Structure 1
Amino acid sequence: MNDWQVICKVEDIPVLGARRVARARGGDVAVFRNDQNQVFALLDRCPHKGGPLSQGIVFGTSVACPLHNWTIGLEDGCAKAPDEGCTTKFACRVESGDVLLDPVELATLAIDVAPAQSA
């Protein structure tokens, strides 16, 4: 099993907001926090037109893309019907208030995807 990488503290992520994690290759990862203090991690790129999901509004277990208001599920990275498409989901966990991501996923998932478009 991999050693998980501490990204930040849960309280470092705004409630109903996100924090971006830069990577050496590929687009940033957005780490989200909802009003129940659940934490999720997705590629910071909407599957529609590549909008920065980290700039969207979090509600429940979804985020609204700031470009065209698509609703993306935080648990699976998929657009809600009638829209279609998914963004990459990253494994995320919380231990003793720390948010951790899998370093292997950070180094290998979606590394060929361009960064998000500005909102």
Structure 2
Amino acid sequence: MDMNWHPIGDITEIPLLGARCVKTPSMTIAVFRTDEHEVHAIENRCPHKGGPLSEGIVHGTSVTCPLHNWVISLESGKALGADDGEVRTIPVRNENGQLFIALEGAMMVAAE
């Protein structure tokens, strides 16, 4: 699998317990920053009804979907609790505050 690392900005551009979106040709990726300054990237689409996870509430290493309160692990992309489903996780790298995501042969289009 050929991974292409793409710069997406500085960690300070993502608020604590917040998210930023990155658009690719195949999907929108939500990049989250936890209160511990960990960075995780997942598909920005809840597996339940497609809600925008980037608009959800971040707590620990999870995000709660703003539509129907599904809780999604930022580490595994899996729905937690009694819910069943998962979203794609995207490798992310932090190099001295500069963030990069790994895309499989796809080119990044724009960042929001």
> 1:68-79, aligned counterparts within 5 Å?
68-79=68-79
Mark the CA change 1:71 to 1:4 in structure 2 (over 3 Å): closer, same or farther.
same
User: Partners in 1 of 2:26 and 2:5 — Cα distance?
Assistant: 19
Task: Find runs of 4+ consecutive structure 1 residues off by over 2 angstroms.
Answer: none
What number of residue pairs does the alignment pair up?
A: 106
Q: Could you tell me which residue of structure 2 aligns to residue 113 of structure 1?
A: none
Q: CA deviation at 1:27?
A: 2.2
User: Partners in 2 of 1:56 and 1:71 — Cα distance?
Assistant: 9
The structure where helix makes up a greater share of residues is: 1
Q: CA deviation at 1:2?
A: 4.4
User: Partners in 2 of 1:89 and 1:103 — Cα distance?
Assistant: 11
Q: Could you tell me which residue of structure 2 aligns to residue 48 of structure 1?
A: 48
User: Partners in 1 of 2:66 and 2:26 — Cα distance?
Assistant: 21
SS of the equivalent of 1:11 reads helix
Unaligned runs of 5+ in 1: 109-119
User: Partners in 2 of 1:14 and 1:99 — Cα distance?
Assistant: 14
* Root-mean-square deviation over aligned CA pairs: 1.6
TM-score by length of 1: 0.84
Q: Could you tell me which residue of structure 2 aligns to residue 17 of structure 1?
A: 18
Unaligned runs of 5+ in 2: 108-112
Q: Could you tell me which residue of structure 2 aligns to residue 88 of structure 1?
A: 88
Render the CA deviation track for 1:67-119: whole Å, top value 9, x for unaligned.
001000000100002001000000111001011111326x29xxxxxxxxxxx
**Residue 4 (1) aligns with residue 5 (2):** yes
The structure where strand makes up a greater share of residues is: 2
Q: Taking every aligned residue pair, what percent have the same amino acid on both sides?
A: 47
